[in-house]
Amino acid sequence: MKIHEYQGKELLARYGVPVPIGISAQSADEAIAAIPQVQKKSGVDTVVVKAQIHAGGRGKGGGVKVCKTAKDAEKAVGDVFGMQLVTHQTGPEGKKVQRLLIEQGLDIEHEYYVGMTLDRATGRVTVMASTEGGMEIEEVAAKTPEKILKESINPAVGWQDHQARRLGFALGLEGKEVRALGKFLHALTTCYWEMDCSLLEINPLVTTTDGRVLALDAKVNFDDNALYRHKDIEEWRDLSEEDPAEIEAKKYDLSYIKLDGTIGCMVNGAGLAMATMDIIKHYGGEPANFLDVGGGATTEKVTEAFKIITRDPNVKSIFVNIFGGIMKCDTIANGVVAAVKEVGLEVPLVVRLEGTNVETGRSILGQSGLEIVTAADMADGAKKAVEVVK
Protein backbone atom coordinates (compact mmCIF):
# COMPACT_ATOMS: atom_id res chain seq x y z
CA MET A 1 0.00 0.00 0.00
CA LYS A 2 1.18 3.51 -0.86
CA ILE A 3 0.56 6.76 1.01
CA HIS A 4 1.08 10.44 0.18
CA GLU A 5 4.23 12.40 0.97
CA TYR A 6 2.51 14.46 3.67
CA GLN A 7 1.25 11.29 5.37
CA GLY A 8 4.70 9.73 5.13
CA LYS A 9 6.24 12.80 6.75
CA GLU A 10 3.66 12.76 9.52
CA LEU A 11 4.56 9.12 10.21
CA LEU A 12 8.31 9.76 10.09
CA ALA A 13 7.97 12.76 12.41
CA ARG A 14 6.38 10.46 15.00
CA TYR A 15 9.62 8.48 14.97
CA GLY A 16 11.75 11.59 15.35
CA VAL A 17 12.82 11.99 11.73
CA PRO A 18 13.35 15.74 11.11
CA VAL A 19 10.98 17.02 8.41
CA PRO A 20 10.25 20.60 7.25
CA ILE A 21 7.33 22.50 8.78
CA GLY A 22 4.29 21.92 6.59
CA ILE A 23 0.51 21.79 6.40
CA SER A 24 -1.53 19.57 4.07
CA ALA A 25 -4.67 20.78 2.32
CA GLN A 26 -7.53 19.11 0.49
CA SER A 27 -8.86 22.27 -1.19
CA ALA A 28 -7.37 25.43 -2.69
CA ASP A 29 -8.91 27.54 0.11
CA GLU A 30 -7.33 25.35 2.77
CA ALA A 31 -4.00 25.60 0.98
CA ILE A 32 -4.14 29.41 0.77
CA ALA A 33 -5.03 29.61 4.45
CA ALA A 34 -2.03 27.41 5.24
CA ILE A 35 0.50 29.75 3.57
CA PRO A 36 0.71 32.43 6.33
CA GLN A 37 0.61 29.75 9.01
CA VAL A 38 3.65 27.98 7.56
CA GLN A 39 5.43 31.32 7.13
CA LYS A 40 4.75 32.23 10.75
CA LYS A 41 5.80 28.86 12.19
CA SER A 42 9.01 28.66 10.19
CA GLY A 43 9.90 32.35 10.36
CA VAL A 44 10.74 32.45 6.64
CA ASP A 45 8.75 33.88 3.73
CA THR A 46 9.65 31.23 1.19
CA VAL A 47 7.17 28.36 0.97
CA VAL A 48 6.98 25.36 -1.33
CA VAL A 49 3.69 24.25 -2.89
CA LYS A 50 3.78 20.50 -3.53
CA ALA A 51 1.22 18.42 -5.42
CA GLN A 52 0.31 15.22 -3.56
CA ILE A 53 -0.18 12.30 -5.90
CA HIS A 54 1.12 8.72 -5.71
CA ALA A 55 3.77 9.14 -8.38
CA GLY A 56 7.34 10.28 -8.66
CA GLY A 57 8.70 13.01 -10.94
CA ARG A 58 6.26 15.63 -9.62
CA GLY A 59 8.80 18.46 -9.79
CA LYS A 60 9.61 17.91 -13.45
CA GLY A 61 5.90 17.74 -14.26
CA GLY A 62 5.28 21.18 -12.74
CA GLY A 63 3.68 19.96 -9.53
CA VAL A 64 6.23 21.52 -7.14
CA LYS A 65 6.69 25.32 -6.94
CA VAL A 66 9.12 27.24 -4.76
CA CYS A 67 7.56 30.65 -3.94
CA LYS A 68 9.36 33.64 -2.40
CA THR A 69 6.21 35.49 -1.33
CA ALA A 70 2.71 34.65 -0.11
CA LYS A 71 1.31 36.18 -3.31
CA ASP A 72 3.41 33.88 -5.50
CA ALA A 73 2.37 30.94 -3.35
CA GLU A 74 -1.31 31.77 -3.76
CA LYS A 75 -0.84 31.86 -7.50
CA ALA A 76 1.00 28.52 -7.39
CA VAL A 77 -1.87 26.97 -5.42
CA GLY A 78 -4.25 28.16 -8.15
CA ASP A 79 -2.04 26.64 -10.83
CA VAL A 80 -1.33 23.29 -9.20
CA PHE A 81 -4.55 22.42 -7.39
CA GLY A 82 -6.86 20.55 -9.74
CA MET A 83 -4.27 20.33 -12.51
CA GLN A 84 -3.82 17.13 -14.47
CA LEU A 85 -0.24 16.32 -13.43
CA VAL A 86 1.71 14.22 -15.92
CA THR A 87 4.93 12.51 -14.83
CA HIS A 88 6.86 9.50 -16.14
CA GLN A 89 4.98 7.37 -13.59
CA THR A 90 1.40 8.55 -14.20
CA GLY A 91 0.98 7.62 -17.85
CA PRO A 92 0.08 10.18 -20.54
CA GLU A 93 -3.33 11.00 -19.05
CA GLY A 94 -1.76 12.14 -15.78
CA LYS A 95 -3.38 12.38 -12.38
CA LYS A 96 -5.65 15.10 -11.03
CA VAL A 97 -4.12 16.96 -8.07
CA GLN A 98 -6.62 16.96 -5.20
CA ARG A 99 -4.27 17.45 -2.27
CA LEU A 100 -1.42 19.88 -1.64
CA LEU A 101 1.35 20.18 0.89
CA ILE A 102 2.44 23.72 1.83
CA GLU A 103 5.93 23.54 3.25
CA GLN A 104 8.62 25.91 4.55
CA GLY A 105 11.51 26.83 2.24
CA LEU A 106 14.99 25.74 3.37
CA ASP A 107 18.55 26.91 2.71
CA ILE A 108 19.80 23.70 1.21
CA GLU A 109 23.51 22.95 1.23
CA HIS A 110 23.46 19.54 -0.39
CA GLU A 111 20.98 16.87 -1.51
CA TYR A 112 21.45 13.14 -0.85
CA TYR A 113 19.49 9.97 -1.45
CA VAL A 114 18.55 7.51 1.30
CA GLY A 115 16.33 4.49 0.80
CA MET A 116 15.62 1.11 2.30
CA THR A 117 13.91 -1.96 0.99
CA LEU A 118 13.99 -5.74 1.04
CA ASP A 119 16.95 -7.33 -0.72
CA ARG A 120 15.58 -10.62 -1.97
CA ALA A 121 19.02 -12.06 -2.66
CA THR A 122 19.97 -11.89 1.03
CA GLY A 123 16.51 -12.04 2.58
CA ARG A 124 17.39 -8.91 4.55
CA VAL A 125 16.64 -5.21 4.49
CA THR A 126 19.22 -3.08 2.72
CA VAL A 127 19.82 0.61 3.42
CA MET A 128 21.08 2.56 0.43
CA ALA A 129 22.61 6.03 0.31
CA SER A 130 24.02 8.20 -2.44
CA THR A 131 25.42 11.66 -3.00
CA GLU A 132 23.21 11.87 -6.10
CA GLY A 133 20.15 13.17 -4.26
CA GLY A 134 17.17 14.42 -6.21
CA MET A 135 18.03 12.20 -9.18
CA GLU A 136 16.09 9.17 -10.34
CA ILE A 137 17.83 6.49 -8.30
CA GLU A 138 17.22 3.81 -10.96
CA GLU A 139 19.17 5.98 -13.36
CA VAL A 140 22.03 6.36 -10.90
CA ALA A 141 22.02 2.59 -10.30
CA ALA A 142 22.19 1.92 -14.03
CA LYS A 143 24.84 4.48 -14.96
CA THR A 144 27.02 4.84 -11.87
CA PRO A 145 26.30 1.93 -9.51
CA GLU A 146 29.46 2.74 -7.52
CA LYS A 147 27.73 5.91 -6.31
CA ILE A 148 25.17 3.88 -4.35
CA LEU A 149 26.41 2.78 -0.94
CA LYS A 150 24.72 -0.16 0.76
CA GLU A 151 24.40 -1.50 4.31
CA SER A 152 22.51 -4.69 5.15
CA ILE A 153 20.50 -5.00 8.38
CA ASN A 154 21.15 -8.17 10.38
CA PRO A 155 17.72 -8.98 11.88
CA ALA A 156 19.31 -10.41 15.02
CA VAL A 157 21.02 -7.15 16.04
CA GLY A 158 19.09 -4.58 14.01
CA TRP A 159 20.47 -1.37 12.54
CA GLN A 160 23.74 -0.30 14.16
CA ASP A 161 25.08 3.23 14.48
CA HIS A 162 28.48 2.30 13.02
CA GLN A 163 26.64 1.55 9.77
CA ALA A 164 25.24 5.08 9.75
CA ARG A 165 28.72 6.47 10.42
CA ARG A 166 30.18 4.40 7.61
CA LEU A 167 27.56 5.76 5.21
CA GLY A 168 27.95 9.31 6.54
CA PHE A 169 31.71 9.51 6.12
CA ALA A 170 31.54 7.82 2.71
CA LEU A 171 29.00 10.46 1.63
CA GLY A 172 31.55 13.14 2.59
CA LEU A 173 29.73 14.42 5.69
CA GLU A 174 31.60 15.73 8.70
CA GLY A 175 31.33 15.65 12.50
CA LYS A 176 28.02 17.23 13.41
CA GLU A 177 26.31 16.14 10.21
CA VAL A 178 27.41 12.52 10.63
CA ARG A 179 25.91 12.52 14.12
CA ALA A 180 22.70 14.04 12.76
CA LEU A 181 22.58 11.41 10.02
CA GLY A 182 23.07 8.71 12.65
CA LYS A 183 19.99 9.91 14.56
CA PHE A 184 18.09 10.28 11.31
CA LEU A 185 18.82 6.73 10.12
CA HIS A 186 18.14 5.26 13.55
CA ALA A 187 14.66 6.81 13.47
CA LEU A 188 14.11 5.80 9.85
CA THR A 189 15.06 2.14 10.32
CA THR A 190 12.97 1.92 13.50
CA CYS A 191 9.96 3.19 11.56
CA TYR A 192 10.66 0.73 8.75
CA TRP A 193 10.62 -2.26 11.12
CA GLU A 194 7.81 -1.23 13.40
CA MET A 195 5.48 -0.18 10.60
CA ASP A 196 6.13 -3.17 8.32
CA CYS A 197 7.27 -0.95 5.46
CA SER A 198 8.23 -2.48 2.14
CA LEU A 199 9.90 0.66 0.83
CA LEU A 200 11.05 3.83 2.52
CA GLU A 201 12.74 6.41 0.33
CA ILE A 202 13.97 9.90 1.18
CA ASN A 203 14.92 11.61 -2.06
CA PRO A 204 16.28 14.07 -1.36
CA LEU A 205 17.57 14.03 2.15
CA VAL A 206 19.10 17.49 2.62
CA THR A 207 21.73 19.15 4.73
CA THR A 208 21.06 22.82 5.41
CA THR A 209 23.49 25.71 5.72
CA ASP A 210 22.87 25.67 9.49
CA GLY A 211 24.01 22.01 9.76
CA ARG A 212 20.67 20.22 9.99
CA VAL A 213 19.66 16.99 8.23
CA LEU A 214 16.03 16.80 7.01
CA ALA A 215 13.75 14.63 4.87
CA LEU A 216 12.65 16.89 2.03
CA ASP A 217 10.57 14.13 0.47
CA ALA A 218 9.15 10.86 1.79
CA LYS A 219 8.00 7.83 -0.15
CA VAL A 220 6.55 5.19 2.15
CA ASN A 221 5.08 1.85 1.03
CA PHE A 222 3.69 -0.82 3.35
CA ASP A 223 3.66 -4.61 3.11
CA ASP A 224 0.04 -5.47 2.27
CA ASN A 225 0.40 -8.78 4.13
CA ALA A 226 1.14 -6.92 7.38
CA LEU A 227 -1.64 -4.29 7.23
CA TYR A 228 -3.67 -6.31 9.74
CA ARG A 229 -1.14 -5.14 12.34
CA HIS A 230 -1.60 -1.46 11.42
CA LYS A 231 -5.28 -0.68 11.22
CA ASP A 232 -4.60 3.04 11.68
CA ILE A 233 -2.45 3.14 8.55
CA GLU A 234 -5.21 1.65 6.45
CA GLU A 235 -7.19 4.83 7.04
CA TRP A 236 -4.55 6.66 5.01
CA ARG A 237 -5.40 4.69 1.89
CA ASP A 238 -6.43 7.16 -0.84
CA LEU A 239 -8.83 5.24 -3.05
CA SER A 240 -8.87 8.02 -5.64
CA GLU A 241 -5.27 7.03 -6.42
CA GLU A 242 -6.22 3.46 -7.30
CA ASP A 243 -7.93 1.92 -10.30
CA PRO A 244 -11.67 1.45 -9.49
CA ALA A 245 -11.72 -2.03 -11.08
CA GLU A 246 -8.70 -3.06 -8.99
CA ILE A 247 -10.43 -1.81 -5.81
CA GLU A 248 -13.56 -3.75 -6.72
CA ALA A 249 -11.47 -6.87 -7.38
CA LYS A 250 -9.73 -6.59 -4.01
CA LYS A 251 -13.11 -6.70 -2.24
CA TYR A 252 -13.51 -10.23 -3.55
CA ASP A 253 -9.86 -11.26 -2.97
CA LEU A 254 -9.23 -11.23 -6.69
CA SER A 255 -5.92 -10.06 -8.04
CA TYR A 256 -6.72 -7.89 -11.06
CA ILE A 257 -4.57 -5.53 -13.11
CA LYS A 258 -5.95 -3.65 -16.06
CA LEU A 259 -3.89 -3.72 -19.25
CA ASP A 260 -4.35 -2.17 -22.69
CA GLY A 261 -5.29 -5.16 -24.87
CA THR A 262 -8.56 -6.68 -26.08
CA ILE A 263 -8.59 -10.23 -24.71
CA GLY A 264 -10.00 -10.54 -21.21
CA CYS A 265 -8.38 -13.29 -19.12
CA MET A 266 -9.65 -15.23 -16.13
CA VAL A 267 -7.10 -17.64 -14.67
CA ASN A 268 -6.37 -19.41 -11.37
CA GLY A 269 -2.89 -18.81 -10.00
CA ALA A 270 -0.54 -15.88 -10.59
CA GLY A 271 2.04 -17.83 -12.58
CA LEU A 272 -0.54 -19.39 -14.89
CA ALA A 273 -2.22 -15.98 -15.26
CA MET A 274 1.08 -14.42 -16.39
CA ALA A 275 1.73 -17.39 -18.70
CA THR A 276 -1.75 -16.95 -20.19
CA MET A 277 -0.97 -13.32 -21.00
CA ASP A 278 2.29 -14.52 -22.57
CA ILE A 279 0.64 -17.14 -24.76
CA ILE A 280 -1.99 -14.68 -26.00
CA LYS A 281 0.81 -12.37 -27.07
CA HIS A 282 2.65 -15.36 -28.56
CA TYR A 283 -0.29 -15.91 -30.92
CA GLY A 284 -0.50 -12.25 -31.86
CA GLY A 285 -3.13 -11.00 -29.41
CA GLU A 286 -2.98 -8.48 -26.55
CA PRO A 287 -4.28 -9.29 -23.05
CA ALA A 288 -6.80 -6.82 -21.58
CA ASN A 289 -5.95 -7.73 -18.02
CA PHE A 290 -4.17 -9.91 -15.50
CA LEU A 291 -6.72 -11.71 -13.32
CA ASP A 292 -5.95 -14.38 -10.75
CA VAL A 293 -9.11 -15.72 -9.10
CA GLY A 294 -6.93 -17.49 -6.52
CA GLY A 295 -7.17 -20.94 -5.08
CA GLY A 296 -10.13 -20.68 -2.76
CA ALA A 297 -12.53 -18.86 -5.09
CA THR A 298 -16.24 -19.48 -4.71
CA THR A 299 -18.92 -19.36 -7.39
CA GLU A 300 -19.73 -15.82 -6.21
CA LYS A 301 -16.12 -14.65 -6.62
CA VAL A 302 -15.90 -16.14 -10.09
CA THR A 303 -19.10 -14.32 -11.01
CA GLU A 304 -17.65 -11.02 -9.79
CA ALA A 305 -14.42 -11.68 -11.68
CA PHE A 306 -16.38 -12.25 -14.84
CA LYS A 307 -18.31 -9.01 -14.33
CA ILE A 308 -15.11 -7.02 -13.84
CA ILE A 309 -13.72 -8.37 -17.11
CA THR A 310 -16.88 -7.68 -19.12
CA ARG A 311 -17.12 -4.12 -17.76
CA ASP A 312 -13.93 -3.22 -19.66
CA PRO A 313 -15.15 -1.77 -23.00
CA ASN A 314 -11.91 -2.81 -24.76
CA VAL A 315 -12.60 -6.50 -24.20
CA LYS A 316 -13.46 -8.19 -27.50
CA SER A 317 -13.13 -11.81 -26.38
CA ILE A 318 -12.66 -13.67 -23.10
CA PHE A 319 -10.31 -16.55 -22.37
CA VAL A 320 -10.95 -18.54 -19.21
CA ASN A 321 -7.92 -20.73 -18.47
CA ILE A 322 -8.24 -22.94 -15.40
CA PHE A 323 -6.03 -25.70 -14.06
CA GLY A 324 -7.92 -26.87 -11.03
CA GLY A 325 -5.97 -27.84 -7.95
CA ILE A 326 -7.71 -26.60 -4.83
CA MET A 327 -9.90 -24.67 -7.23
CA LYS A 328 -12.43 -27.09 -8.64
CA CYS A 329 -13.49 -26.89 -12.29
CA ASP A 330 -17.19 -27.22 -11.42
CA THR A 331 -16.93 -24.11 -9.21
CA ILE A 332 -15.51 -22.16 -12.13
CA ALA A 333 -18.13 -23.51 -14.53
CA ASN A 334 -20.98 -22.60 -12.16
CA GLY A 335 -19.54 -19.11 -11.68
CA VAL A 336 -19.21 -18.50 -15.40
CA VAL A 337 -22.75 -19.70 -16.10
CA ALA A 338 -24.19 -17.60 -13.26
CA ALA A 339 -22.32 -14.51 -14.44
CA VAL A 340 -23.40 -14.86 -18.06
CA LYS A 341 -27.01 -15.30 -16.97
CA GLU A 342 -26.75 -12.17 -14.84
CA VAL A 343 -24.84 -9.78 -17.09
CA GLY A 344 -25.21 -11.34 -20.52
CA LEU A 345 -22.46 -12.15 -22.96
CA GLU A 346 -21.68 -9.85 -25.86
CA VAL A 347 -18.25 -11.17 -26.82
CA PRO A 348 -17.00 -14.67 -27.66
CA LEU A 349 -16.07 -16.78 -24.63
CA VAL A 350 -13.34 -19.42 -24.85
CA VAL A 351 -12.98 -21.84 -21.93
CA ARG A 352 -10.20 -24.26 -21.17
CA LEU A 353 -10.70 -26.47 -18.12
CA GLU A 354 -8.29 -29.01 -16.69
CA GLY A 355 -7.64 -30.56 -13.28
CA THR A 356 -9.85 -31.29 -10.30
CA ASN A 357 -13.47 -32.18 -11.24
CA VAL A 358 -12.84 -31.37 -14.90
CA GLU A 359 -15.57 -33.69 -16.21
CA THR A 360 -18.26 -32.15 -14.00
CA GLY A 361 -17.10 -28.68 -15.02
CA ARG A 362 -17.25 -29.45 -18.72
CA SER A 363 -20.71 -30.97 -18.50
CA ILE A 364 -22.03 -27.93 -16.56
CA LEU A 365 -20.84 -25.69 -19.41
CA GLY A 366 -22.14 -28.13 -22.05
CA GLN A 367 -25.63 -28.28 -20.55
CA SER A 368 -25.87 -24.55 -19.88
CA GLY A 369 -27.03 -23.80 -23.43
CA LEU A 370 -24.54 -20.92 -23.56
CA GLU A 371 -22.45 -20.27 -26.63
CA ILE A 372 -19.08 -21.29 -25.28
CA VAL A 373 -16.05 -22.18 -27.36
CA THR A 374 -14.26 -25.03 -25.62
CA ALA A 375 -10.52 -25.46 -25.88
CA ALA A 376 -8.53 -28.70 -25.69
CA ASP A 377 -5.53 -27.07 -24.06
CA MET A 378 -3.88 -23.74 -23.30
CA ALA A 379 -2.51 -23.20 -26.82
CA ASP A 380 -5.80 -24.11 -28.45
CA GLY A 381 -7.70 -21.73 -26.15
CA ALA A 382 -5.31 -18.83 -26.73
CA LYS A 383 -5.41 -19.31 -30.51
CA LYS A 384 -9.20 -19.35 -30.52
CA ALA A 385 -9.48 -16.28 -28.31
CA VAL A 386 -7.06 -14.39 -30.58
CA GLU A 387 -8.69 -15.53 -33.83
CA VAL A 388 -12.16 -14.27 -32.94
CA VAL A 389 -10.76 -10.79 -32.25
CA LYS A 390 -9.00 -10.50 -35.59
Minimum gap (Å) between residue 81 Cβ and another protein? 26
**What are the residue numbers of the active site?**
113, 201
| CB-nearer residue toward another protein: 35 or 265 | 265
Minimum gap (Å) between residue 62 Cβ and another protein? 22
Binding site for another protein (CB under 8 A): 89, 118, 120-121, 123-125, 137-138, 141-142, 154-156, 193, 196, 198, 223-226, 228-229, 255, 257, 259, 267-282, 287, 290, 292, 295-296, 323-326, 354-356, 377-379, 382
Minimum gap (Å) between residue 115 Cβ and another protein? 11
| CB-nearer residue toward another protein: 163 or 268 | 268
Extract the runs of DSSP E, i.e. beta strands, from the chain: 22-25, 47-51, 64-67, 84-85, 95-96, 100-104, 108-119, 124-130, 148-153, 197-208, 213-215, 219-222, 255-258, 263-267, 289-292, 317-324, 349-355, 372-374
| CB-nearer residue toward another protein: 50 or 383 | 383
Q: Cα separation of 111 and 132, whole Å?
A: 7
| CB-nearer residue toward another protein: 80 or 128 | 128
Task: Of 286, 297, 307, 376, give the one whose Cα is nearest residue 329.
Answer: 297
Extract the runs of DSSP E, i.e. beta strands, from 17-156: 22-25, 47-51, 64-67, 84-85, 95-96, 100-104, 108-119, 124-130, 148-153
Minimum gap (Å) between residue 227 Cβ and another protein? 9
| CB-nearer residue toward another protein: 86 or 267 | 267
φ/ψ of 13, rounded to 5, equals -60, -35
DSSP 58-75: TTTTT-EEEESSHHHHHH
Q: Which residues contact 284 (CB under 8 A, 6 or more apart)?
A: 386, 390
Minimum gap (Å) between residue 190 Cβ and another protein? 13
